[in-house]
Structure 1
Amino acid sequence: MITPNTCNAVQFRILAWMAAEQLSVEELAARAGVSRSALRNIKKAGWKTSFSTVRRLEDTIPPTFNVDLSKASL
């Protein structure tokens, strides 16, 4: 289980949305207006990035998109 409101939860939400939209890392980077290198390790546990990048990614995801963290793991 992933604890809500943590870096892991944000990463899981982004990855879940990528999967739902069938987006590649390159497509996500383009939509969010960030560099591909900013997302180079997004699929690895412990991914680290800047708050600015996370904000841009979250702004790309519709606010109505929800994920169930109770069964989630990275």
Structure 2
Amino acid sequence: RLAGTTVARAAAHKEQQLLTCPEETAIVKWCSRPDDIGFPPCLDMVKDMAIHLKSKRTGMLALPLGRN
């Protein structure tokens, strides 16, 4: 990377990511709101939100998320 011949891992695999950076930021903010009042969202709620954001962006129903 120092010589400029390779790219960062996140940039190299950008097309393999389910969500864009702004969508990930939106999920973080969405998770923080209920957590601030003592009700952190469960994993299923976060997964549903990720699927919702991807569906909203692509205009079609997103496939279920994988394990990782």
TM over 0.5: no
Larger Rg: 1 or 2? 2
Q: Which has the higher contact order (CA 8 A, sep 6+)?
A: 1
Report the TM-score when normalising by structure 1. 0.29
Report the TM-score when normalising by structure 2. 0.31
